Structure 1
Amino acid sequence: MTSARFLTAPDGTRFRDLNGNGVMDPYENPTLSVDERTDDLLHRLSLEEKAGLMFQTVIEVGDEGELLETPGKISKSPTTTVVVHKNMNHFNVHAIRTARQAATWNNNLQALAETTPHGIPVTISTDPRHAFVENTGVAFSAGPFSQWPEGLGLAALDDVDTVRGFAEVARREYVAVGIRAALHPQIDLATEPRWGRQAQTLGQDADRVTAFTAAYLRGFQGDELGPDSVACTTKHFPGGGPQLAGEDAHFPYGREQVYPGGMFDYHLEPFREAIRRGTAGMMPYYGMPVGLEVDGEPIEEVGFGYNRQIVTGLLREQLGYDGVVVTDWELVNDNHVGDQVLPARAWGVEHLTAVERMEKILDAGSDQFGGEECVEMLVDLVRSGRVSEERLDASVRRLLRVKFQLGLFDDPYVDVDAAERLVGNPEFRALGERAQARSLTVLVNEGSTLPLRPTGSVYVEGFRADDVAELGRVVSDPAEADLALVRIGAPFEPRDDLFLEAWFHQGSLEFAPGLVYRLNRIAASCPLVIVVNLDRPAILTPFVGHAAAIVADYGSSSAAVLDALTGRVAPRGRLPIEIPRSMDAVRSSREDVPSDSGDPVFPVHHGLELEELVALQEG
Structure 2
Amino acid sequence: MRAVSTPGPLNALPQTLLRHSQVVKTTGNFGFRDLNKNDKLDVYEDVRQPVEKRVQDLLHQMTLEEKAGLLFINGARINDDGSIEDKPGTGLFAFAPNAARLLTEKKMNHFNLWAIPDEPHTLAVWYNKMQKLAEDSRLGIPITIASDPRNHFSNNIFAMKASGFSQWCEPLGLGAIGDPELTRQFADIVRQEYLAVGIREALHPQVDLATEPRWARISGTFGEDAQLTAKQATAYIEGFQGGNSLTREGVAAMTKHFAGGGPQREGLDPHFPFQKGQIYPGHNFKYHLIPFEAAFAAHTAAIMPYYGVPMGQTKEDVGFSYNKAMITDLLRHHYHYDGVVCTDWGLVTDANLGPVVWPARAWGVESLSIPERVQKIIDAGVDQFGGENIPEVIVQLVKEGKVSEKRIDSSAVRLLRQKFQLGLFDNPYIDEDKANTTVGRADFVAAGEASQRRAITLLKNDRHVLPLKKNLKIYVRNMDPKVAAQYGTVVDDPADADLAILRLQTPFYPVASDIPLAKMFHHGDLDFKGAQKDSILQLLHQVPTIVDIYIDRPAVIPEISKAAKGLLADFGASDAAVLDVIFGKFKPGGHLPVELPASMEAVRAQKEDVPYDSKNPLYKFGFGLSY
In the superposition, the TM-score normalised over structure 1's length comes to: 0.96
Give the 3 Å change call, closer, same or farther, for CA 28–383 of structure 1 in structure 2: same
In 2: Cα distance, 1:449 partner to 1:282 partner: 47
The code of the aligned residue for 1:189 comes to: L
Unaligned runs of 5+ in 1: 293-297, 611-619
- Quote how far apart the aligned CAs of 1:74 are: 4.5
Residue of 396, 411, 435 corresponding to 1:380: 396
Q: Which residue of 2 aligns with 1:512?
A: 529
Q: Which residue of 2 aligns with 1:486?
A: 502
Q: Does the 8 Å CA contact 1:445/1:548 hold for their aligned counterparts?
A: yes
The code of the aligned residue for 1:548 comes to: K
- Quote how far apart the aligned CAs of 1:12 are: 1.7
After superposition, the C-alpha distances for 1:56-88 in whole angstroms (9 at most, x for unaligned) are 000021102111514643545333320011000
The reply to whether residue 572 of structure 1 matches residue 589 of structure 2 is yes
Give the 3 Å change call, closer, same or farther, for CA 429–77 of structure 1 in structure 2: closer
In 1: Cα distance, 2:560 partner to 2:239 partner: 39
SS class of match (1:274): helix
The reply to whether residue 596 of structure 1 matches residue 613 of structure 2 is yes
Unaligned runs of 5+ in 2: 1-15
Give the 3 Å change call, closer, same or farther, for CA 362–198 of structure 1 in structure 2: same
Q: Which residue of 1 aligns with 2:237?
A: 217
Residue of 95, 117, 122 corresponding to 2:143: 122
- Quote how far apart the aligned CAs of 1:342 are: 1.2
- Quote how far apart the aligned CAs of 1:135 are: 5.2
Residue of 138, 143, 146 corresponding to 2:163: 143
Give the 3 Å change call, closer, same or farther, for CA 499–25 of structure 1 in structure 2: farther
The code of the aligned residue for 2:160 comes to: F
In 1: Cα distance, 2:201 partner to 2:99 partner: 19
SS class of match (1:242): coil
Q: Does the 8 Å CA contact 2:189/2:444 hold for their aligned counterparts?
A: yes
Give the 3 Å change call, closer, same or farther, for CA 255–125 of structure 1 in structure 2: farther
Q: Which residue of 2 aligns with 1:178?
A: 198
The reply to whether residue 607 of structure 1 matches residue 624 of structure 2 is yes
SS class of match (2:133): helix
- Quote how far apart the aligned CAs of 1:139 are: 2.3
In 1: Cα distance, 2:22 partner to 2:76 partner: 25
Q: Which residue of 2 aligns with 1:524?
A: 541
The code of the aligned residue for 1:36 comes to: K
In 2: Cα distance, 1:428 partner to 1:494 partner: 36
Q: Does the 8 Å CA contact 1:442/1:608 hold for their aligned counterparts?
A: yes
5 Å-filtered alignment, 1:67-216, equals 67-70=84-87, 72=89, 73-96=93-116, 97-133=118-154, 138-216=158-236
5 Å-filtered alignment, 1:364-403, equals 364-403=380-419
5 Å-filtered alignment, 1:258-407, equals 258-292=279-313, 298-407=314-423
SS class of match (1:169): helix
After superposition, the C-alpha distances for 1:290-335 in whole angstroms (9 at most, x for unaligned) are 122xxxxx44200001000000000000011000000001111001
In 2: Cα distance, 1:308 partner to 1:71 partner: 40
The code of the aligned residue for 2:123 comes to: A
Q: Does the 8 Å CA contact 1:255/1:286 hold for their aligned counterparts?
A: no
In 2: Cα distance, 1:77 partner to 1:432 partner: 32
Q: Which residue of 1 aligns with 2:72?
A: 55
In 1: Cα distance, 2:496 partner to 2:28 partner: 83
Give the 3 Å change call, closer, same or farther, for CA 76–100 of structure 1 in structure 2: closer
In 1: Cα distance, 2:155 partner to 2:497 partner: 34
Aligned length: 604
SS class of match (2:61): coil
After superposition, the C-alpha distances for 1:208-229 in whole angstroms (9 at most, x for unaligned) are 1011111001100122212100
Q: Which residue of 1 aligns with 2:12?
A: none
SS class of match (1:479): helix
- Quote how far apart the aligned CAs of 1:337 are: 3.0
Q: Which residue of 2 aligns with 1:36?
A: 53
In 1: Cα distance, 2:515 partner to 2:439 partner: 35
The reply to whether residue 442 of structure 1 matches residue 432 of structure 2 is no
Q: Which residue of 2 aligns with 1:615?
A: none
The code of the aligned residue for 1:307 comes to: N
Q: Does the 8 Å CA contact 2:77/2:96 hold for their aligned counterparts?
A: no
In the superposition, the TM-score normalised over structure 2's length comes to: 0.94
